Structure 1
Amino acid sequence: MAEIPIRFANLGCAEIARKLSRAVILSPNSTLYAVGSRSLDKAKKFAAENGFPPSAKIYGSYEAVLDDPDVDVVYMPLPTSLHLKWAVLAAEKKKHLLLEKPAALNVGELDQIIGACEANGVQYMDGTLFMHHPRTAKMEEFISDSQRFGQLKTMHSFFSFTADDNYLKNNIRVKPDLDSLGALGDIGWYCIRGILWAANYELPKTVTAFRGPVLNGAGVILACGSSLLWEDGKTATFYCSFFSNLTMDLTVVGTKGTLHINDFANPRDEITSSFSAASETQFKDLLTGWVPLPSQHEMTIDLPQDACMVREFSRLVKSIKEDGSKPECKWPNISRKTQLVMDAVKESIEKGFQSIQIEAY
């Protein structure tokens, strides 16, 4: 008997939803079932341009999507200011929730979303794609190897792209009523998640924002950075910006090894990707070079990382639907930790770059 695919519905027609729609098509255990927008014409156009099957349901409201009993998963790429209302309602309608990042405006809102998912037995996951790339698991093997990597000491992440004038004036990421977290919530989310991933999701003790963040006239962050400090002395820094050339660097340094990746959030090639690892590197005699040289690790995968995410989410939903499994708590926990650090960076900026202590719960 053929496997019944998990039925996805898009709640909204944002640009990023085009990528997710393709991922659902590529994933072997999912199908595009429905799309809803506040405009029926917009929903029809989106479905026609993004590979939705002729049988797909097209709705002219978000409520209609959530009222459809055959929708298994709601993917939500709405502006962050709308997440709380619609994510909670989706959970109450027993829809599994794939929520675009940033997950919420603050951890209080996210707690309400996660609480609604837990109360209704539905799976929650945020849309941080690199978490699902097989390369990430391979890199984790290296930094978890005490013989090759040693003890984790410091991390640095950097994510930037050069936004044009139209983006800086009109994109939802620069509008305080839509996505007030700006660059911090958008690309800063990836920087923070990369650091937490490297630290095995151990929260830092304190967070201190760098001086000199760039804000627009409405007070939305366009560029910022921060340092992070752990109880045991581990450190990290990150910087995110809408004003620098496209860069996605993550460096993780241990007592014996170093990991470098130059496209951590979104690989330059979605099928073939690589990372650099060095172990017990020293200078040659007379400082004429390094030995041994860092090794390049390249891998080829069968599905791009966004389709890997959809495949994994569909697997979890299928297990809940058909086997009576409980929702996987790993994903809401990681999302909440990312939000806690992001909140602390924002608070540090607002309080004149004071050090903010992280309170886990």
Structure 2
Amino acid sequence: MSSEKPIRFGVLGCANIARKVSRAIRLAPNAALQAVGSRTREKASAFAAENGFPESAKIYGSYEAVLDDPDVDAVYVPLPTSLHAKWAVLAAQKKKHLLLEKPVALNAAELDTILAACESNGVQYMDATMWMHHPRTALMKQFLSDPHRFGQLKSVHSVFSYCPGEEFLRNDIRVKPDLDALGALGDTGWYCIRAILWANDYELPKTVTALREPEYNEAGVILSCAASLSWADSRIATFYCSFLTNLTMDISCAGAKGNLRVHDFVIPFREKAAKFYGASNSTFSTLALGCEPEPSEHAVETDLPQEALMVAEFARLAGSIERDGSKPEKKWGSISRKTQLVVDAVKASIERGFEPVEVVN
């Protein structure tokens, strides 16, 4: 992989998350930092200096200049969600492969416009949901797919919450209705919904019902909410997402023959090692004084952090298109779209007085 010509990345904007992804681009063996653009050249220059950009990297005082740079193969877009449709479509039209921060759009219609632009211009699309690329995730999926150890999936519960502090709650883009109107639902809720769909092999639920009493800020942006999802065969799922609750990153899956739990699915507690817990064919011990067998701990190590693995996979796909004329991998767009459809359904259920909303693909 490292012998191949690296995919050269441009970064649109200097959001905080862009610091982490810029580091990931540096760590990925098949990627390189080529350019960064901001609304001012001074801000872009400071960002590049603070985040390990090579001296050869281009510094631009606009997003357009990054997209017009012929030496940029791909762009990472961490802009506010309200700006995604404009800049993601323009990036695709400029033939730049697109790594798009989540939530990817304000609604599925916007995302469809983005995906259509990527397809018509032959560029690779991927959303930046990093945990999908950790080797632990693949191992957990093997466990969930084992008919003897786990059996039929019955329920999933996911929680992602954190307390970012008063400064965040006053000024961050994620609490501004004109920048990221989806609030916690689009940020932490995106992860919860993705986890539920992942556990269900990306089969969309039949209905989504938001739970009562979501919390809002004064501008009407969601700070916490929850919802239940149901499938025709009696599978159910629930999630809770929040900016007002202590850091929690859990997935709990219950199957007919086993269960799986992970307590740090979004960002592993340790960068290069991650754990999950599985149990199979559990029963109460004598006099119900315990259970047996006890859940087993599975530790998964990785040389590269999950965000660098994400960049490496994206660069591999983009490189295959650039070098070999391969077709873009469409599964990432499909997964994004299904996640967005459920986000939209939760929002619609809240707006309709917490009525069930049918999810239509």
Where in structure 1 do 4 or more consecutive aligned residues deviate above 6 Å?
A: none
Q: CA deviation at 1:151?
A: 0.3
- Cross-structure match for 1:184: 185
Unmatched 5+ stretches in structure 2: none
* CA shift digits 1:257-314 (9 cap, x unpaired): 0000000111010101100000000000100101000000012111000000000000
The TM-score normalised by the length of structure 1 is 0.99
Question: Structure 1 residue 344 and structure 2 residue 341: aligned?
Answer: no
Question: Structure 1 residue 269 and structure 2 residue 270: aligned?
Answer: yes
Following the alignment from structure 2 to structure 1, what is the Cα–Cα distance between the partners of residues 4 and 197?
36
- Cross-structure match for 1:158: 159
Following the alignment from structure 1 to structure 2, what is the Cα–Cα distance between the partners of residues 32 and 67?
16
- Cross-structure match for 1:175: 176
Alignment of 1:4-15 (within 5 A): 4-15=5-16
Alignment of 1:273-352 (within 5 A): 273-352=274-353
Following the alignment from structure 1 to structure 2, what is the Cα–Cα distance between the partners of residues 263 and 297?
13
- Root-mean-square deviation (CA, aligned residues, Å) is 0.8
Q: CA deviation at 1:2?
A: 4.0
Which AA in structure 1 matches 2:30? N
Alignment of 1:25-40 (within 5 A): 25-40=26-41
Name the SS for the 1:154 alignment partner: strand
Alignment of 1:194-273 (within 5 A): 194-273=195-274
Name the SS for the 1:90 alignment partner: helix
Following the alignment from structure 1 to structure 2, what is the Cα–Cα distance between the partners of residues 163 and 12?
21
Following the alignment from structure 2 to structure 1, what is the Cα–Cα distance between the partners of residues 213 and 265?
25
Following the alignment from structure 1 to structure 2, what is the Cα–Cα distance between the partners of residues 203 and 253?
18
Question: Structure 1 residue 54 and structure 2 residue 88: aligned?
Answer: no
Q: CA deviation at 1:69?
A: 1.1
The TM-score normalised by the length of structure 2 is 0.99
* CA shift digits 1:108-147 (9 cap, x unpaired): 0000000000000000000000000000000000000001
Which AA in structure 2 matches 1:307? A
Name the SS for the 2:350 alignment partner: helix
Following the alignment from structure 2 to structure 1, what is the Cα–Cα distance between the partners of residues 168 and 23?
24
Which AA in structure 2 matches 1:29? N
- Cross-structure match for 1:85: 86
* CA shift digits 1:16-75 (9 cap, x unpaired): 000000001100000000000011000000000100000000000011000111111100
Following the alignment from structure 1 to structure 2, what is the Cα–Cα distance between the partners of residues 206 and 2?
48
Following the alignment from structure 2 to structure 1, what is the Cα–Cα distance between the partners of residues 273 and 237?
28
Following the alignment from structure 2 to structure 1, what is the Cα–Cα distance between the partners of residues 267 and 206?
29
Following the alignment from structure 1 to structure 2, what is the Cα–Cα distance between the partners of residues 257 and 62?
49
* CA shift digits 1:169-225 (9 cap, x unpaired): 100000000000000000000000000000000000000000000011111000000
Following the alignment from structure 2 to structure 1, what is the Cα–Cα distance between the partners of residues 66 and 158?
38
Name the SS for the 1:277 alignment partner: strand
Following the alignment from structure 2 to structure 1, what is the Cα–Cα distance between the partners of residues 35 and 237?
42
Which AA in structure 1 matches 2:302? I
Alignment of 1:128-167 (within 5 A): 128-167=129-168
Which AA in structure 2 matches 1:41? E
- Cross-structure match for 2:108: 107
Following the alignment from structure 2 to structure 1, what is the Cα–Cα distance between the partners of residues 104 and 208?
20
Name the SS for the 1:227 alignment partner: strand
Which AA in structure 1 matches 2:230? L
Aligned residues: 360
Following the alignment from structure 2 to structure 1, what is the Cα–Cα distance between the partners of residues 333 and 51?
29
Give the stretch that moved more between structures: 2-11 or 44-53.
2-11
Percent identity, aligned pairs only, is: 65
Name the SS for the 2:247 alignment partner: strand
- Cross-structure match for 1:76: 77
Following the alignment from structure 2 to structure 1, what is the Cα–Cα distance between the partners of residues 163 and 305?
25
Q: CA deviation at 1:3?
A: 2.3
Which AA in structure 1 matches 2:327? K
Q: CA deviation at 1:163?
A: 2.5
